[in-house]
Amino acid sequence: MSDLHNDVFVPLNSEAVHHLLHAADEAMSHHAIQEEYTLQRLTNSLKARKSDVLNIPCDVPVVQASARYFMLLETAAEHLKGRFSSADFDLLLNAQCTPIWNWEPSYSLAGMVADAYGIEELENVDTGNPLHVFLERLLILSPLENAVLVDACEQVWRGHPNPLL
């Protein structure tokens, strides 16, 4: 297979995918990720995309889905770079102090941040308060933009530089 963005691409075989899924299941259960993120959900998704008739194993859709996901994140990240300050990221990072976030596209980061800071109603926070301004900015983000912020924060918690600053 070809390389992605000049990085060496190592094709996955069925055994590698099995080990990857097993390791992901162990990591997710260790970090108490919600039931929606269990190995069974992922396995069902992969089964729906492989083809025994055409000899397409589950590692093909894993690689395809991963490549598509990261391309979407990279594209959306270009539009988010510089839109949030270091102080904004401090608020966001302190709302979830973990390298693996419990987030899915139906969740709003604004709601997660508000919950973390004990805010039940945005009206209860002064309009000029940086947290109020930040929450208003989070409220208008799309699910993809939320995913980009989650990914950036997870990267920071894993010791990488913030890709959006």
Choice between 46 and 22, residue whose per-residue pLDDT is larger: 46
The reported pTM is 0.71
- CB-CB contact of 157 with 108 (8 Å): no
Does residue 5 register a pLDDT over 50? no
pLDDT of amino acid 82: 92
Tokens for 75, please give them.
Answer: 């594209």
Least confident span in 32-36, 58-62, 74-78, 143-147: 32-36
